[in-house]
Amino acid sequence: MSLRGAGVEPRCRCIGTESRRIGKLISRVELFSPNPHCKDTEIIATLKDSGEEICLDSSAPWVRKVIDKILSR
Amino acid sequence: MSLRGAGVEPRCRCIGTESRRIGKLISRVELFSPNPHCKDTEIIATLKDSGEEICLDSSAPWVRKVIDKILSR
């Protein structure tokens, strides 16, 4: 698991990020701004079929493409 | 209210979108891909202070800028 837990917690949510290109499996993406509890931008994707939540790397070009694609639909 | 309700529902979540540029107030952005229950791309922002959830227009340039800004932090 690369996700610590859902909800608002006083620390970062992600403890690792997915490196595989799973864009086609994603139904939802959440973007969290850096805040006093976590200095990182966190991106959490929810998978279409399983509903599983997976942390993504905000600096990965494929992640940005996934977000652009959702926005352009 | 421009948001129908949170969670997975068998219909669109948004019934309207915010036109004011509220980028600085946003702590979290959720992007929902079109799906069998809703043909629209839906974007729901959560406000920093109140936690209020507000629907945004995925085609508005300022909304894209907010997302780009979160990604580049």
Taking only the tens place, the pLDDT of each residue in A16-52 is: 999 999 999 999 999 999 999 999 999 999 999 999 9
Does the pLDDT at position A10 exceed 90?
A: no
Size of interface A-B (CB pairs under 8 A): 55
Give the one of A28, A31, A34 whose C-beta lies nearest to B33's C-beta. A28
Task: Report the distance separating Cα B53 and Cα B16, nearest Å.
Answer: 12
Q: Angle of helix B61-72 relative to helix A61-71, nearest 10 degrees?
A: 160
Inter-chain CB proximity B70 and A26 less than 8 Å: no
Does the pLDDT at position A5 exceed 60?
A: no
Taking only the tens place, the pLDDT of each residue in B33-66 is: 999 999 999 999 999 999 999 999 999 999 999 9
pLDDT given for residue B7 in this prediction:
56
pLDDT given for residue B4 in this prediction:
63
Q: Cβ of B22 under 8 Å from any chain A Cβ?
A: no
Does the pLDDT at position A8 exceed 60?
A: no
Taking only the tens place, the pLDDT of each residue in B6-41 is: 555 689 999 999 999 999 999 999 999 999 999 999
pLDDT given for residue A6 in this prediction:
53
Phi, then psi, of B3 in degrees rounded to 5: -120, 130
If one compares B1 and A50, the residue with the highest pLDDT of the two is A50
Quote the minimal CA–CA distance from B1 to chain A in Å.
Answer: 21
pLDDT given for residue B73 in this prediction:
81
Nearest CA in chain B to A61: B71
10 Å CB burial of residue B51 (0-12, 13-18, 19+) is exposed
